[in-house]
Amino acid sequence: MTAGYRALGTAAALLALGLTSMNAQPPGDVQKAVDAAYEKFKTLKEGKNADYIPALAKVDPNLFGIAVVTADGKVYTAGDVKTEVSIQSISKVFTMAQVIQEQGLESVEKQIGVDATGARFNSIIAVEAVRTVVGSGAPEMNPLVNPGAISATSMVRGSNADEVWKKIIGFHNDAAGRQLTVLQDVYKSESDTNQRNQAIGALMLAYGYIKNNWQQAVDLYTRQCSIGVNARDLAMMGATLAGGGKNPVSGKQVMDAAKVPGVLAVMATAGLYDDSGKWLYHTGLPAKSGVGGGIVAVSPGKFGIAVISPPLDDAGNSVRAQRAITDISNALGGNPYAARK
């Protein structure tokens, strides 16, 4: 074997192990990229807090925190990475992951679907548009829009609400590597105003996506959306997915590595709702946003990155989070579609 082929063989072996150049990236470079994005965007004022859930309108719009956690467990931060916001739709990723872990990749594909709707996250028109194919084995929905997410929550097995909740919060805790709690003010505020999600839950029962107890599913979905997280938690949850389902700091294997690519695929196609294509075009990263102001993105084998900044654009995605993650990931060579150097 020539030296050239040996080098190629080593690179291929490293790639197969998911050990790419990120782990060799000088720590100073990662911190520099994080600091540069923080400085560049800290005064950006575009966007507006979500206010359809009253508690979200009261969150400080200036809150801005960035965290990167590498697949080998190094943590880089800038700004406020301690203050918690509600996880909101980002929880959809981890409840979907839990169902996939528990019941296999096909369960979600058959019961909910894994296709983008191209519609807003709480669209009822999208439900109507795809309902004719329910039962055909390939419904064109996905677990990252509200109808699919409420259905995914309904799929988590358990003989009562408490049992199901323990599994949902347990999965989130394991991915974050610490005990998370529900922000009760957000839970109450959303429970008082979630009539649209209740309508969606009832519709999903009527159309066969939910098999029973849609009220319990909507309540648990509302609870999971109210889990408090900071930017570091979200980046750790992203790093758990980046590292094949293993939390890089606790070392716990949260889900089977073979099931993670399915989760990332749905994030790539539907994580930023109707702006998912635009996002992927610029970053190549599977990601998920929440109306609490967080976005988490995953560079497989390399890192999880998260930013919290509450003001959102018209699609419901944090303005500063999108800009900061794009800059940092591009500086670090995070785009999985780019040829690796």
Minimum separation from the CB atom of position 134 to ligand DON (A): 21
Structure tokens at 100: 């996939």
What are residue 307's DSSP bridge partners? Answer: 66, 295
Minimum separation from the CB atom of position 242 to ligand DON (A): 21
Minimum separation from the CB atom of position 221 to ligand DON (A): 7
Complex with ligand DON: residue 34 or 220, whichever CB lies closer: 220
Range list of H helices, the chain:
3-16, 27-41, 54-57, 90-103, 105-111, 125-130, 146-155, 161-176, 184-193, 195-206, 214-225, 231-242, 260-270, 276-283, 319-332
Complex with ligand DON: residue 33 or 312, whichever CB lies closer: 312
Complex with ligand DON: residue 77 or 189, whichever CB lies closer: 189
DSSP for 220-262, please give it: HHHHHHTBEE-HHHHHHHHHHHHTTTB-TTT--B-S-GGGHHH
Minimum separation from the CB atom of position 182 to ligand DON (A): 12
Give me the amino acid identity at 102: E
- Separation CA 291–CA 274 (nearest Å): 14
* Beta pairing class for 65-70 and 75-79: antiparallel
Complex with ligand DON: residue 105 or 210, whichever CB lies closer: 210
Minimum separation from the CB atom of position 48 to ligand DON (A): 13
What are the strands of the beta sheet with 287-289, ordered from one edge? 75-79, 65-70, 303-308, 294-299, 287-289
Length of the chain, please?
A: 341
Q: Using CB atoms, what's the residue nearest to ligand DON?
A: 89
Minimum separation from the CB atom of position 274 to ligand DON (A): 10
CA 260 distance to own-chain centroid: 12
Binding site for ligand DON (CB under 6 A): 88-89, 121-122, 146, 190, 197, 225, 289-291, 316
Complex with ligand DON: residue 290 or 310, whichever CB lies closer: 290
What does the DSSP 8-state code read for residue 217?
H
What does the DSSP 8-state code read for residue 338?
S
Complex with ligand DON: residue 108 or 225, whichever CB lies closer: 225
Complex with ligand DON: residue 68 or 183, whichever CB lies closer: 183
Minimum separation from the CB atom of position 19 to ligand DON (A): 33
